[in-house]
Amino acid sequence: MDQPRHVPVLLDRVLELFAPALQGKPAVVVDTTLGMGGHSDALLGAHPELTLIGLDRDPQAIEMAGKRLAHHGDRVHLVNVTYDHIDEAVADLGYSRVDGVLMDLGVSSLQLDEEERGFAYSKDAPLDMRMSKGTGMTAADVLNTYSHGDLARILSTYGEERFAGKIASAVLREREKEPFTNSGRLVELLYAVVPAASRRTGGHPAKRTFQALRIEVNGELESLRLALPAALGVLGVGGRIVVESYQSLEDRMVKQAFAELAKSKSPLGLPVELPGHGPEIKLLTKGAELASEQEVEDNPRAAPVRLRAAERIGEPR
Ligand SMILES: C[S@@+](CC[C@H](N)C(=O)[O-])C[C@H]1O[C@@H](n2cnc3c(N)ncnc32)[C@H](O)[C@@H]1O
If you measure from the C-alpha of residue 141 to the centroid of ligand 1, how many angstroms do you get, rounded to a whole number? Answer: 23
Regarding beta strands 281-283 and 306-312, do their DSSP bridges make them parallel or antiparallel, or are they unpaired?
A: antiparallel
Mean pLDDT of 260-274: 85
Question: Under a CB-based contact definition with an 8 Å cutoff, are residues 194 and 159 in contact?
Answer: no
CA 206 to CA 271: how far, in whole Å?
55
In 10 A of CB 305, how many CB atoms? 23
In this prediction the pTM is: 0.94
User: Between the CA of residue 172 and those of 119, 129, 186, what are the distances in Å?
Assistant: 21, 20, 12
CA 274 to CA 266: how far, in whole Å?
6
Q: Which residues line ligand 1 (CB under 6 A)?
A: 8, 33, 35-39, 55-58, 61, 82-83, 104, 106-108, 131, 223
Instruction: Return all residues near 170 (Cβ < 8 A) that are at least 6 apart.
Output: 189, 192, 193
Name the pLDDT band for 5 (thresholds 50, 70, 90).
very low
Q: Which of 233, 240, 190 has the alpha carbon at shortest distance from 14?
A: 240
Give the amino acid at 100.
Answer: G
Name the pLDDT band for 263 (thresholds 50, 70, 90).
very high
Q: Whose CA is nearest to atom 16 of ligand 1?
A: 106
If you measure from the C-alpha of residue 187 to the centroid of ligand 1, how many angstroms do you get, rounded to a whole number? Answer: 25
Q: Whose CA is nearest to atom 8 of ligand 1?
A: 38
CA 222 to CA 218: how far, in whole Å?
9
Name the pLDDT band for 2 (thresholds 50, 70, 90).
very low
**Annotated binding residue 56:** yes
Report pLDDT digits (tens) over 141-187: 999 999 999 999 999 999 999 999 999 999 999 999 999 999 999 99
Name the pLDDT band for 36 (thresholds 50, 70, 90).
very high
Query: Which CATH number applies to 3-110+221-312?
Result: 3.40.50.150
pLDDT score, position 196: 87
* Fold of the 116-218 domain: DNA polymerase; domain 1 (1.10.150)
Domain ranges of the chain: 3-110+221-312, 116-218
Question: Under a CB-based contact definition with an 8 Å cutoff, are residues 36 and 64 in contact?
Answer: yes
CA 103 to CA 241: how far, in whole Å?
8
